[in-house]
Amino acid sequence: MKSVESIIINKNKRLRGVIYPPGDKSISHRAIIFGSLARGKSKVTNFCPGDDTLNTLKAFQSLGIKIEGSGTEFTIWGKGLKGLQEPPDIINAGNSGTTTRLLTGLLGGQNFFSVITGDASLRKRPMKRVTEPLRAMGAKIDGREGGDCAPLAIRGENLRSITYHTPVASAQIKSAILLAGLYADGITEVIEPVLSRDHTERMLKALGAHVETKNTMVRVQGFSELEAFSLFVPGDISAAAFFVVGGAIIPDSEVIIRDVGINPLRTGILDVLKNMGADIRLEEIKEEGGEERADIIVKSSLLKGVEVSGELIPRTIDELPILAIAASQAEGTTIIRDAKELRVKETDRIKAMAEGLRRFGVQVQEFEDGMAITGPQKLKGTRVSSYGDHRVAMAFIIAGLTASGETTVEDTALIATSFPNFMELLDSLSQ
């Protein structure tokens, strides 16, 4: 069923069973970062062992931080805010935009030189959205295309605090500035047009930093000391989303997904699916490290088309590819708007999803900032590319479970960047 470069899928009768998704990717990145900046020994369990998060881990090892462990458990010997060392070589972030942007903010406040780069896809992604505000704080950053593309060369400086209005709601922009703000005199303030995911500020608060939040504003006090911690990383809702949609659209399905993070700024996928008529409920809700988690139970349902736009977009941005698959099985037209950010992800996800869905036989109208998908459609097995994007690949694999005949999803190796055991969990549910 599986090879390195392509995955063959056949129609599935139903999905049934219990799974544990990998630890949340966003929180795993931040656990390594803040564990390294805290003073003392921190322990992280249920870490997401994807390529992206491991690239963050390796980056901090190259910055002089001792990190030991394997799989999903790591111990970090943090050295405090002033403990990082100049790396002996270029830092390679691979395909991880989170690693690149957050590290750029952090490295802008260090008293040494560093260079960060990544793979061919990452080197095309826009970085000026973080380099411009960091330069305004006093960091010296250069890169390709005037600092808009990696490789980025960073000469750390004494930073000054700023108030910055982000042009888009982006946790990566916000987090990069807040990390730089830890090294700036005074209070650094970030104001977003709409609130993006808030894992950075939640974790900073939990570790004792001086952080204030109000509406779409967050402030951090420079040189806040961070406390070492023990953290169980909740399951990644962006990973769980593929099984939530699969359970909702494949008849006679019931899927239980354990210990999933339910941060309200990440649960847009659940809100949208419930609006579509999906049978979803949460059980066993608990909290740790400033983040709630719960078991998600989903059963197959008849869905209807809805509109996804406005404040829902930052809360569903990573889940929109799999939501597009749900839309293809919903009665009526689902409209996605205000999602132009999808065009500058690992690939142009609007174009990739529209072209792929058409190959399955779905009626799709593409907009500059989204798409309209008319359903329900009986999908036809096809050969479709992931366009080198892990979330697009997994979305088309779920689509293949509902399609007649055989579906081949090409270029699937990048699934490992976020979800190495995706196919293993899917096979465990397939009946």
DSSP at 123: G
DSSP at 22: P
The confidence score (pLDDT) of residue 46 equals 96
Place of tokens 């169980």: 232
* The pLDDT of residue 127 is above 60: yes
Question: Thinking of the domain 25-231, which architecture would CATH place it in?
Answer: Alpha-beta prism (3.65)
Average pLDDT, the chain: 95
Instruction: Find all residues with CB under 8 Å of 40, minimum gap 6, and list them.
Output: 77, 78, 227, 228
The tens digit of pLDDT for each residue in 411-431 reads 999 898 889 899 999 999 986
Shortest CA distance to 415 belongs to which of 5, 10, 47? Answer: 5
Between the CA of residue 215 and those of 172, 209, 218, 219, 366, what are the distances in Å? 18, 19, 8, 11, 33
Measured on CA atoms in the order 72, 73, 76, 81, is the torsion positive or negative? positive
d(CA 104, CA 114): 9
The confidence score (pLDDT) of residue 69 equals 96
Strands 73-79 and 291-299: unpaired
Active site residues: 318
* The pLDDT of residue 1 is above 70: no
DSSP at 236: P
The confidence score (pLDDT) of residue 288 equals 81
- 6-23+235-429 and 25-231 in the same fold: yes
Between the CA of residue 193 and those of 101, 167, 196, 234, 310, what are the distances in Å? 19, 7, 9, 27, 11
The confidence score (pLDDT) of residue 345 equals 83
Strands 159-160 and 140-143: unpaired
The tens digit of pLDDT for each residue in 4-34 reads 489 999 998 899 999 999 999 999 999 999 9
The confidence score (pLDDT) of residue 346 equals 81
Top pLDDT among 311 and 257 is at: 257
Contact 76, 32 (CB under 8 A): yes
CATH superfamily of 6-23+235-429: Enolpyruvate transferase domain (3.65.10.10)
Percentage of the chain beyond pLDDT 90 is 91
* The pLDDT of residue 2 is above 50: no
Contact 200, 176 (CB under 8 A): no
The tens digit of pLDDT for each residue in 161-217 reads 999 999 998 999 999 999 999 999 999 999 999 999 999 999 999 999 999 999 999
Strands 279-288 and 291-299: antiparallel
The tens digit of pLDDT for each residue in 248-297 reads 999 999 999 999 999 999 999 999 999 999 999 999 999 887 889 999 99
* The pLDDT of residue 66 is above 90: yes
Measured on CA atoms in the order 302, 305, 307, 313, is the torsion positive or negative? positive
How far, in whole angstroms, is CA 232 from its chain's centroid?
18
How far, in whole angstroms, is CA 24 from its chain's centroid?
8
Per-residue pLDDT, averaged over 215-233, amounts to 95
Place of tokens 């009986």: 378
| Strands (E) located in 215-290 | 217-221, 230-232, 254-261, 279-288
Strand, coil or helix: what is 229? coil
d(CA 125, CA 108): 19
d(CA 393, CA 151): 27
pTM: 0.88
Task: Give the helix/strand (H/E) hosting 317.
Answer: none
The tens digit of pLDDT for each residue in 361-396 reads 999 999 999 999 999 999 999 999 999 999 999 999
Q: Which amino acid is residue 9, in one-letter code?
A: I
Return the structure tokens found at 139: 């960091």
Task: Return the domain boundaries, the chain.
Answer: 6-23+235-429, 25-231
The confidence score (pLDDT) of residue 312 equals 92
